[in-house]
């Protein structure tokens, strides 16, 4: 009995200590000191969650406390948000209602807690349609109060930090969802540090070995980086001191996730990533209104010491990004012959870069006002998409995602007004951003006074004039031209409307045609005509008639005239075919075994041959980090964890994901693609094939090598047993003189 009491006392002490740390952090901020209401929220939440444990074994209240600390320290919000963070699980997990919260803490805190309750349990439900509904809820609550989503991101960050205590399949679901939605959301709201940590943690759980490898290599090269940093910054420090500025210089090392991402997209090994180190100069402006001038003065000073790269000056100072980010980025040639990026920011700009929109509030008069100008624009775009619900939830998510990930370009109207557009925007996107009517009737554009098609990609600094015509209609191929969420959703909605109109017209034309021929409009009749015109279903057939791409005529009449003996044949085919089908359908469910998604699936040679399918999109092989997905037909499909299709599945159908492990013994062969490049010379191809076929005994399915100006690159398709084989092939090929890089690629 004594032990139990002892443990309870220790837990209470631990909880009180955590709360005291939260209060100390809050008291150190510039916010008004409303300690009383925070203490009240803590006591209320502590009482409500009493006796409840998290999966890790610690008291449940430690989670809301940790989220409140993130909200206070890492996002920089005030007492209202801290209280809402402490109370965020009370309504969902206990008997208290939103009305109780409102009576005790007032309407503002209650409204935020209500927003958080509506989107709890992960954004995504079990089915895609629910997922889209929940996502809409999330965005609608965001538009009422942006603090809802900031606290939700803090909640997700703490869940990711404590993900180790979850089951593996839950880990993949949560990590996938984080990469797919939360990291881009954090980025769009300007929470750069949070975004980076969310990406890194997701990567750590999805690819533990690669994470560890990169981490070890970063540690091994840290001393060299430190020396480069010291040598590079010494003359800069001397000059900044002469300018009489208050400043500090930091070394910023590229995150593990972005290093891995670059290795994947550029097909280069760790050793060939040269922008691992960036330098950040953070200064206090000499006068508040001199902030911008100081940035450029520092730039001029340091570019006298080192040569700047002519194409790599990024001026986010004069034109902040849509998430509020401001800085001047310049790339300089260091004495070691490598380009080093220098980011120049004031203290205010640095706060905005790390805490995003939350930091803007800090710099408003009195620290209490809240201004989200750019965010408002973004939320308006989202509301427009929500006003036009789309049938396919995954499409809905993708459109949103396009806007989340996009970085910005700046374009001008003919009158010289500046407009911010996502990168890769086309003339068509620009037309829809001006007005839906302009978008619907646009026929082309003049960019910098030159005529261009609607698919033309815009560049920063372009001046764009849209040309319209009243007779123009929205075309199906416009969906491939549109990249912004607004344009895509508008085009899709108009096309859907047009399809319905055409379908109706097509139905009327077909009925009149059949009536004239005295034929009943039965399913078999329409089926025959679809087959004749090679169209897959009735709907598409009617649309084709309606938009005049099919004109019914003599060939249709001939097809519909009964052929002798057709009747009995048709009857027999139907009855025998139908009977067999019913029998097989009765039998099939008994063969399917129910798969428990909580257990880890072991992939053996036999199960791969008989039960499971390897995904075509990413071609996993033994040794890859993989997961299983149970599709609608109860088949298990094995995907690589980083495969983009798997990322969607994790986010949308998390409950169908199973953790999987390999247990194969080099008896099965799998197809892999290897990319190779280097400096060309005589006999090189022979050496490469010798290493693969003779020395390693690997079968080559296809080989494609080409050289250009002394450089060669190529792709192989090889049959291997597992990842170990791939490593052996890559390592052996790298030993051949002239070969610079060898990597496994998707295709």
What would the pLDDT profile of 364-416 be if each residue is shown by its tens digit? 544 443 444 556 666 666 666 666 656 566 666 677 766 666 677 888 888 87
- Domain ends where: 352, 367, 382? 367
Q: Two tokens at 455? A: 């698919």
Helix (H, G, I), strand (E, B) or coil at 268: coil
137 and 229, same domain (yes or no): no
Same domain? For 234 and 301 the reply is: yes
SS3 category, 37? helix
CATH number of the domain that residue 100 is part of: 1.10.3210.10
Indicate if 92 belongs to the active site.
Answer: yes
237 with 114, same domain: the answer is no
Among 527, 558, 582, the domain-final residue is 582
Say yes or no: 153 and 14 in one domain.
yes
Structural domain contains residue 488? no
How far apart (Å, rounded) are the C-alpha atoms in residues 428 and 481? 7
Give domain status of residue 429, yes or no.
Answer: no
Quote the DSSP letter at residue 600: P
Q: How much helix, strand and coil, in percent to the nearest 5, is found in the chain?
A: 55, 15, 30
Q: 653 with 172: CB under 8 angstroms? A: no
Answer whether 359's CB lies under 8 Å from 352's CB: yes
Report the distance separating Cα 499 and Cα 137, nearest Å. Answer: 29
In this structure, is residue 41 part of a structural domain? yes
If you write DSSP's letter for every residue of 131-164 in order, what string do you get?
HHHHHHHHHHHHHH-HHHHHHHHHHHHHHHHTGG
Q: Same structural domain for residues 246 and 103?
A: no
The rounded Cα 479 to chain-centroid distance in angstroms is 21
Residue 229 confidence (pLDDT) = 92
**List 92, 126, 216, 517, catalytic entry:** 92
Q: Is 507 a catalytic residue?
A: no
Residue 530 lies in a domain: yes
How many Å separate Cα 33 from the centre of its chain? 38
Q: Is residue 699 included in any domain, yes or no?
A: yes
Same domain membership, residue 19 and residue 109: yes
Helices 146-161, 168-177: axis angle to 10 degrees equals: 150
Chosen domain end from 134, 165, 196: 165
Q: What is the total count of domains within the chain?
A: 4
Asked if residue 89 belongs to a domain, the reply is: yes
Are 132 and 244 in a shared domain?
A: no
Per the CB < 8 A criterion, the answer to whether 615 and 637 are in contact is: yes
Question: 570: domain range?
Answer: 498-582
pTM of the model: 0.74
State residue 64's pLDDT score.
Answer: 93
CA angle (215, 220, 222) in 5-degree steps: 90
Question: Do the Cβ atoms of 34 and 106 come closer than 8 Å?
Answer: no
> Is the domain of 336 the same as that of 231?
yes
Find out whether 697 and 711 touch, Cβ atoms under 8 Å. no
Regarding whether 32 and 147 lie in a shared domain, the answer is: yes
Same domain, 239 and 339: yes
At 235 the pLDDT is 93
In what order do the strands lie in the sheet containing 442-447?
450-452, 442-447, 464-468
239 and 161 in a common domain? no
Edge-to-edge strand list for the sheet holding 657-662: 601-603, 657-662, 626-630, 636-640, 612-614
| Strand ranges, E, within 348-449 | 408-412, 418-422, 442-447
- Are 135 and 271 part of one and the same domain? no
Q: Residue 508 domain-assigned?
A: yes
Q: Are 730 and 742 contacting, i.e. CB atoms less than 8 angstroms apart?
A: yes
Q: Which segments of the chain have a pLDDT < 70?
A: 1-9, 120-144, 357-358, 360-397, 401-406, 562-599
Kindly state whether residue 469 falls inside one of the protein's structural domains: no
Q: What is the CATH number of the domain that holds 721?
A: 3.30.70.260
Among 58, 93, 341, 498, the one annotated catalytic = 93
């Amino acid at each position: 009995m004594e032990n139990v009491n002892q443990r309870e006392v220790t837990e209470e002490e631990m909880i009180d200590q955590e709360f005291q740390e939260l209060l100390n952090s809050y008291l150190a901020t510039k916010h008004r000191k409303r300690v009383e209401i925070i203490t009240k929220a803590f006591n209320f939440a502590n009482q409500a969650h009493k006796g409840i444990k998290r999966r890790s074994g610690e008291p449940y209240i430690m989670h809301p406390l940790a989220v409140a600390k993130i909200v206070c320290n890492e996002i920089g919000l005030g007492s209202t948000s801290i209280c809402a963070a402490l109370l965020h699980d009370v309504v969902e997990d206990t008997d208290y209602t939103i009305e109780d919260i409102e009576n005790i803490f007032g309407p503002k805190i209650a409204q935020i807690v209500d927003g958080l309750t509506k989107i709890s349990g992960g954004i995504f439900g079990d089915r895609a349609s629910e997922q889209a509904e929940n996502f809409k809820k999330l965005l609608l609550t965001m538009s009422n109060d942006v603090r809802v989503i900031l606290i939700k991101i803090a909640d997700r960050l703490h869940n990711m930090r404590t993900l180790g205590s979850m089951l593996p399949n839950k880990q993949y679901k949560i990590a996938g969802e984080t990469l797919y939605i939360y990291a881009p959301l954090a980025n769009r709201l300007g929470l750069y540090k949070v975004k980076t940590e969310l990406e890194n943690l997701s990567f750590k759980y999805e690819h533990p070995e690669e994470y560890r490898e990169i981490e070890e290599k970063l540690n091994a090269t840290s001393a060299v980086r430190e020396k480069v940093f010291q040598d590079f910054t010494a003359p800069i420090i001397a000059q900044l001191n002469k300018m009489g500025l208050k400043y500090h210089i930091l070394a910023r090392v590229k995150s593990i996730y972005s290093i891995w991402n670059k290795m994947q997209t550029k097909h280069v090994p760790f050793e060939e990533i040269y922008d691992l180190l960036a330098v950040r100069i953070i200064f206090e402006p000499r006068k508040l209104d001199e902030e911008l001038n100081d940035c450029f003065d520092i730039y001029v000073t340091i570019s006298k010491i080192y040569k700047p790269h002519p194409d790599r000056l990024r001026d986010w100072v004069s034109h902040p990004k849509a998430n509020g980010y401001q800085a001047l980025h310049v790339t300089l040639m260091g004495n070691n012959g490598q380009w080093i990026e220098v980011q120049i920011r004031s203290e205010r700009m640095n706060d905005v870069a790390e805490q995003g929109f939350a930091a803007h509030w800090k710099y408003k008069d009195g620290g209490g006002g809240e201004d989200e100008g750019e965010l408002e624009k973004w939320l308006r775009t989202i509301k427009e998409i929500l006003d036009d619900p789309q049938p396919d939830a995954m499409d809905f998510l993708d459109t949103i995602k396009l806007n989340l990930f996009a970085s910005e370009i700046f374009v001008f109207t003919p009158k010289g007004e500046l407009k911010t557009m996502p990168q890769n925007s086309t003339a068509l996107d620009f037309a829809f951003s001006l007005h839906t009517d302009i978008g619907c009737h646009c026929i082309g554009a003049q960019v910098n006074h030159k005529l261009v098609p609607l698919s033309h990609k815009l560049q920063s600094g372009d001046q764009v004039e849209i040309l319209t015509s009243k007779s123009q209609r929205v075309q199906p191929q416009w969906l491939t031209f549109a990249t912004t969420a607004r344009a895509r959703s508008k085009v899709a909605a108009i096309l859907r409307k047009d399809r319905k109109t055409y379908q109706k017209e097509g139905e009327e034309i077909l009925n009149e045609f059949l009536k004239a021929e005295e034929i009943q409009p039965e399913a078999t009749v329409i089926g025959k005509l679809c087959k004749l015109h090679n169209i897959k279903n009735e709907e598409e057939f009617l649309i084709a008639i309606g938009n005049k791409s099919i004109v019914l005529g003599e060939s249709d009449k001939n097809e519909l005239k009964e052929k002798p003996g057709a009747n009995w044949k048709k009857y027999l085919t139907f009855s025998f075919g139908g009977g067999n089908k019913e029998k097989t359908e009765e039998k099939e469910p008994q063969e399917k075994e129910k798969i428990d998604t909580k257990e880890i699936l072991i992939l053996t040679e036999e199960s791969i041959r008989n039960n499971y399918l390897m995904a075509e999109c990413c071609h996993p092989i033994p040794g890859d980090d993989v997961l299983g997905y149970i599709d609608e037909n109860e088949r298990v499909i094995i995907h690589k964890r980083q495969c983009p299709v798997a990322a969607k599945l994790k986010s949308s159908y998390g409950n169908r994901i199973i953790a999987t492990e390999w247990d194969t013994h080099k008896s099965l062969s799998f197809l892999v693609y290897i990319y190779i490049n280097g400096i060309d010379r005589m006999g090189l191809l022979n050496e490469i094939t010798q290493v693969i076929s003779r020395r390693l005994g690997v079968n080559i399915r296809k080989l494609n090598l080409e050289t250009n100006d002394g450089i060669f690159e190529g792709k192989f398709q090889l049959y291997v047993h597992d990842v170990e084989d791939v490593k052996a092939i890559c390592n052996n090929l790298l030993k051949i003189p002239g070969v610079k890089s060898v990597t496994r690629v998707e295709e």
